[in-house]
Amino acid sequence: GVVSRLPLIVCFLTANHNSLLTLLMGIPFERAIKYHKVSGYLAFVNGIFHTIVAYIAYKEDAGKDQEIIKKFVSDGQVNLSGSLLLAIILSMVITASPYIRGKAFEVFYYFHIFFAMAMMGCAFYHSGILVALLASILWGGDVLIRKVYMACFRYPTSAQIKQLTDTVVEVKFPKTAGFDYNPGQYVKIAIPKLSVFQWHPISISSSPHQHYVTLHIRKRGAWTTRLHELAGKRTEVTILLEGPYGSLGVDLTSDRYKMVMLLSGGIGVTPMQ
């Protein structure tokens, strides 16, 4: 049981944009996410072994009962919550598969959040307050930092929008104190006029030395299409921001490289202006 809990705690720890890994070790979310995936799969495998061992012990005590599996699953708070917990992790593994993420990202995203909250409840009833408390502190604290402090108090909440072409919209807002970023970083943005719940990662296309911040967004899916239509009707919108996130994989500030070649295509060319 203890072995099964540890990957769950690591899973919640590495699911945060503002985590201890980032603060203490400098590991950004984009690189920590692979540990999130590994710990999630490990929690699932551990859960299966834990269930098998518990079932064998239960079967020895129950004898030759024809409905042993049904009774095992629903016998008491611990067994029922443990069975639900394993089913939840299995559902998260399935909905987080590359195929579903690629074809229906919102299904993956909303199911992941719902199952994560359900997992904390089942973990509380199954093994006590430890996992639920740590997960609530780690995940809940990150949500408060990103969705409340950054989006509502720290960063600008109004931006100008403009159609640049038939497929590209420019979002522009003043660079306020504390909004420091490096070339290549991105922000996550939500536009309440379109949806409060949809946050999209967009590369910053303006220079860190400029007094304003620009994002260039290409019309591609439903949200970006609606944004393009909105830019044709108005010039200013309310925005919610979090970030900036991301870090370069190489050190461009040192003298290690005499020459650096940068390649980009499509809308990815905008940060290289």
Mean pLDDT of 225-247: 85
Long-range contacts of 75-78 (CB under 8 A, 24+ apart): 77/125, 77/126, 78/125, 78/126
Residue-level pLDDT at 172: 92
Look at phi and psi of residue 220 and say left if phi exceeds 0, alpha if psi is from -120 to 50, else beta: alpha
**pTM for this prediction:** 0.67
120 and 74 share one domain: yes
Write the pLDDT tens digit of every residue in 114-130. 888 887 777 777 666 76
The answer to whether position 255 is within a domain reads no
Mean pLDDT of 99-107: 80
Range of the domain at 199: 155-249+267-272
24, pLDDT greater than 70: no
**How many folded domains does the chain comprise?**
2
Closest CA to 148 of 159, 137, 157: 157
Confidence of residue 84 (pLDDT cuts 50, 70, 90): confident
The answer to whether position 241 is within a domain reads yes
Confidence of residue 107 (pLDDT cuts 50, 70, 90): confident
- 57 vs 240, higher pLDDT: 240
Q: Picking from 33-42, 196-205, 261-270, which range would have the lowest pLDDT averaged per residue?
A: 261-270
61 and 161 share one domain: no
68 and 118 share one domain: yes
